[in-house]
Amino acid sequence: MKKPLWLVTGGAGFIGSNIVEELLRRGERVRVFDNFSTGKKENLEPFKGRLELVTGDLRAPKDLAKAMKGVTYVLHQAAFRSVPKSVDNPLAAHDNNATGTLNALMAARDAGVKRFVYAGTSSAYGECKVFPQTEGLPTLPVSPYAVSKLAGENYCRVFSRTYGLECVTVRYFNVFGPRQNPESMYSAVIPRFMELFLQGKPLEIHWDGRQSRDFTYVANVVDGNIRAALAPARVSGLTINVATGTNISLLDIARELEKITGRKAGKVFSPKRKGDIRKTYSDISLARRELGYKPLVKFPEGLRLTWDYFSAKWGKK
């Protein structure tokens, strides 16, 4: 009897390729679905010959139907992923994150998929003033990205209850780690800081640098995704925070990088970006209880591992 087949949408991207790597390490059968708009073929190069690749787009139902054939578990990572990018192009965010997820859910339902795990976002909490943030809090999105991702989350809940497709949303909190792209004006803060550090340039800090996040090393969300796929049926329809339950500011990141490198970092401050929020800080007790989840890698260790990766790839230590 064949092993279950895992489909990772966006599997050539940062988080997706890390999931692919772990599934293959466990000896699983893996199929990747990606349109390579942001994902990179080089992220899959180390696994060549060990996975199946379907090139296609979330906005094309025929592509998704092909990708879903024979699949047991879907880990849906493909997305238009950036708050500032969504502010510049809200329609693209909606097309990919809301409509694209709906297309993926319909294809999964029609193909008889057992479990659909959706990559949600802490941006759904928006300007929440209650900390740590639990899954039962009201959602108050303040960016097109957050709205579009929350729409996908709600579609997952509906497909669980209405169509019988087991769906679980895992809400990410500022994931970082190897293979994250530092080369764009829309880059996440940690790879961007590391790129500037390696170039000997001052760190670009929007706002005052005291805004803080539950920065989560990628190995933790990889583990959370797989646990969500394999958890008992009672988790179907749930939204579950997958993070570390800690709170780190941008100034804290700069200080940690100074410790790692033994070098001082210059800083240049600029105005707050549209759609930015002050703080995220997760409560992960539901993940502990329902998924048996606990963070595998704490922030300082994750930052060190990420620095080692970027310094090897982009510069000299």
Q: Which positions are catalytic? A: 145
Which runs of E-coded beta strand occur in 173-315? 175-176, 203-206, 212-213, 216-217, 239-242, 248-249, 267-270
d(CA 113, CA 124): 26
Contact in structure between 35 and 100 (CB atoms under 8 Å): no
Contact in structure between 17 and 39 (CB atoms under 8 Å): yes
92-126 burial, b at 16+ Cβ within 10 Å, e below that, comes to ebbbbbbbbbbbbbbbbbebebebbbbbbbbbbbb
Neighbours of 43 (CB within 10 A): 23
d(CA 172, CA 190): 15
Q: State how beta strands 239-242 and 203-206 pair.
A: unpaired
